[in-house]
Structure 1
């Protein structure tokens, strides 16, 4: 179990964190002697939340801990016996450990719809039972990370972003995840002290409106805070009236107490009202009072869109407090876990799920996934799926839309990079999972390689997730063959 400054990343055994049908299927596989059948499953999502152009891979750290500790103890086995599963199946589970391979795109990588972000290759019962927990961990983590990165992309580089969302999260573990993945995606810090301690950082924050309400006057509250924290005095100025009371009282405390005692006012925070208008007026008042170095922090339900609007309006701010749209973003990832191949007699047999909705027809087979970069600009130009048995050219590739082979293009002058890394091999962890701040640096570097048009908040350019021409032709043949088989059996 990986320890985060004394804290366990996963607080309990999550082996039973699965949907019941995983056990009904697994028991059925066992009864039919299929427990050694090797299968491949892909984790992917079909649409970026909030009509965005990209998502951020996250949650691999939790998946690693979960798989490492995957085992059935007495409590889990007792539950399954009470459910009525046979003694032979329960005895089989008693000795079950994960013995397969897992390939995944590293945390912090920008990822796109319909590409395999995680691939599991394992005996089918093992692969089936771990589905629910993996999806739960990755879906939540990616929602937090993607929401945070949208905020980061909308914010100027010289502005500090503080994650304030613990109280808005769906439970304490979700709050910790939001803080950790928010920092991984580029936030500078968090107000969540347990997450800060886990990451060996300092929690960030000021005071609540209740502090001001607990004193006879706003001035008394500000003065008391300044005396308690003279070298870190950032005052919340919107409890009564931002411009007529809050800012004037902050200036008064700075002039009457902080400056005479050798300190400076660190700044003010505005948490309500017209943030653009109030911040500009407050900036002028602070500057006129000789407090040009005092910062302005803005908060109150900030989104990527509202931050962009503040910038357009000329709002004045040096830091942002963002909560709701990291800890509980509106969009859902919707990651799914689909079987793509079975291994028989040493050969992979591709599997496909068809749908009347073309967008829900999966990309079959045990695949390779590449990212192609333009050698001249360094920007990513496409993610490319290929069959494992396929030799992919490094000079010229014809790529096509997996849903429409007529939409194809030829790319040249590119560099290819394999996106998935080997995480587990034969049940053993072979991947050195980086620390969160290393992942943050990596995320920042990777986002610089994505075209600005893909990253824009409104109507982003659709990034290409294509297959090699060989792969797309193979997929179309498989679709036709599957339909013929189904038709002949009707």
Structure 2
């Protein structure tokens, strides 16, 4: 499948019409999230690097034109104006890892109108999914209150590539490792894993399974102890660890049941066996809500492994995001339809202490005490700087999270900060609205 044809059909029909009408003046589109999902006090901007990679290599080829023609049931020659179309525009964006709020553009594209239109679908798909997953993972970091987290999501994500993204994004917000071997090697993330219940079941007893595993993997091992009876599994693991002289760096994993109660009993059993350095790892349907409950109850869990609910952003699997035209050929434009009004003109977000943000126009001076969030990352279809690193994105995330108000950091019923709109943007919005209403006769 070509990345070019991975788009909605109406992007093709509009781009073709623009070309035939000679409408190739610069257009600016703004990509933003209208409202935060329920249960979110912030979002983590993510997905910029693959978005820039996509734009860098975007070019409509002959095969793409043939596929467009087939989809439209039109002769190939009707679609030939699209042949050779590539992206040579400008992109301004919020750096990956920064926290963003409702209404704030994650990214703005300025390019000849057909180009800017045709890349809409792919950009929305990249940024929305990754921002949703990164935001979910970030809340797990908050809930864990300093305890390490490991990504176990690959087998439950919506496809292998989504699993790769989940591993990278969880590392971006501070996870300690991933079970995903490909992601570990591609992104330099520590790989982590234990064993499955099937492994235990293939042996005559748990003890045989544990001893066999330790023979193959003589370094620190983690035994899965809940295949049959968790308390007996813990006792067996403790006996094998002591017999083999294993301790520091080793662990047991609890994957089902009342994790808090089981962890307390396991901790007591391990301590009584002289294995105070053996860690307890918990998994099994966890996300920030489950982790928060366990931490608040002081469950003696050292590491949390999270998968399904985080890799799919289960409680908020999509964002109410939009990619809207805000300026064409130097003329500010806006949408007036009910509940979906957009503000005109290229934007900038000015960030003050405590994430007191101002959404203003791109060409206005920053209010005192603020810094602009969006920077130019692509010009003339080329990146303006080398690809970002996970470490740099993580540093930005940690700084923004530390500055986030406590009410937005809450796991239960967070309250998100509300950006204010600059005077200049307010004035422009009013003027453009009046202009549209006068032209269309829709004013009151």
TM-score interval for Structure 1 and Structure 2 normalised by the shorter chain: over 0.9
Aligned partners of 1:444, 1:391: CA distance in 2, in Å? 27
Structure 1 pair 433–423 and aligned structure 2 pair: CA distance change class (3 A): same
Given candidates 400, 411, 423, the residue that maps to 2:377 is: 423
Report the count of equivalent residues: 441
Question: Residues 232-247 of structure 1 correspond to what in structure 2 (within 5 A)?
Answer: 232-243=220-231, 245-247=232-234
Is structure 2 residue 357 aligned with structure 1 residue 350? no
Conserved 8 A contact 2:252-2:278:
yes
Given candidates 333, 338, 347, the residue that maps to 1:367 is: 347
Aligned partners of 2:151, 2:343: CA distance in 1, in Å? 37
Given candidates 125, 133, 143, the residue that maps to 1:136 is: 125
* TM-score, normalised via structure 1 length: 0.86
Is structure 2 residue 364 aligned with structure 1 residue 390? yes
Is structure 2 residue 334 aligned with structure 1 residue 334? no
Aligned partners of 1:454, 1:247: CA distance in 2, in Å? 39
Cα deviation 1:109-142 (Å, max 9, x = unaligned):
1111111110011110000000000001111111
Q: Which runs of 5+ in 1 are unaligned?
A: 1-11, 374-378, 395-414
- Report the equivalent of 2:260: 276
Cα root mean square deviation, aligned? 2.0
Cα deviation 1:391-431 (Å, max 9, x = unaligned):
4442xxxxxxxxxxxxxxxxxxxx21110011111222113
- Report the equivalent of 1:102: 91
- Report the equivalent of 2:219: 231
Conserved 8 A contact 1:162-1:320:
yes
1:306 Cα deviation (Å)?
1.3
Given candidates 415, 432, 435, the residue that maps to 1:461 is: 415
Is structure 2 residue 283 aligned with structure 1 residue 308? no
1:389 Cα deviation (Å)?
4.3
Aligned partners of 1:86, 1:33: CA distance in 2, in Å? 21
Is structure 2 residue 30 aligned with structure 1 residue 42? yes
Conserved 8 A contact 1:13-1:69:
no
1:209 Cα deviation (Å)?
0.6
Given candidates 425, 432, 436, the residue that maps to 1:482 is: 436
* TM-score, normalised via structure 2 length: 0.94
Aligned partners of 2:176, 2:248: CA distance in 1, in Å? 22
Aligned partners of 2:342, 2:107: CA distance in 1, in Å? 14
Conserved 8 A contact 1:118-1:420:
yes
Aligned partners of 1:265, 1:122: CA distance in 2, in Å? 54
- Report the equivalent of 2:392: 438
Conserved 8 A contact 1:254-1:265:
no
Q: What SS does the aligned partner of 2:105 have? A: coil
Aligned partners of 1:425, 1:342: CA distance in 2, in Å? 18
Conserved 8 A contact 1:51-1:459:
yes
Cα deviation 1:241-265 (Å, max 9, x = unaligned):
111x111101110122235xxx657
Aligned partners of 2:158, 2:66: CA distance in 1, in Å? 30
Given candidates 58, 62, 68, the residue that maps to 1:70 is: 58
1:462 Cα deviation (Å)?
2.6
- Report the equivalent of 1:80: 68
Cα deviation 1:168-205 (Å, max 9, x = unaligned):
11111111111111111221111011111111334210
39-48 or 362-371, which deviates more: 362-371
Aligned partners of 1:314, 1:201: CA distance in 2, in Å? 29
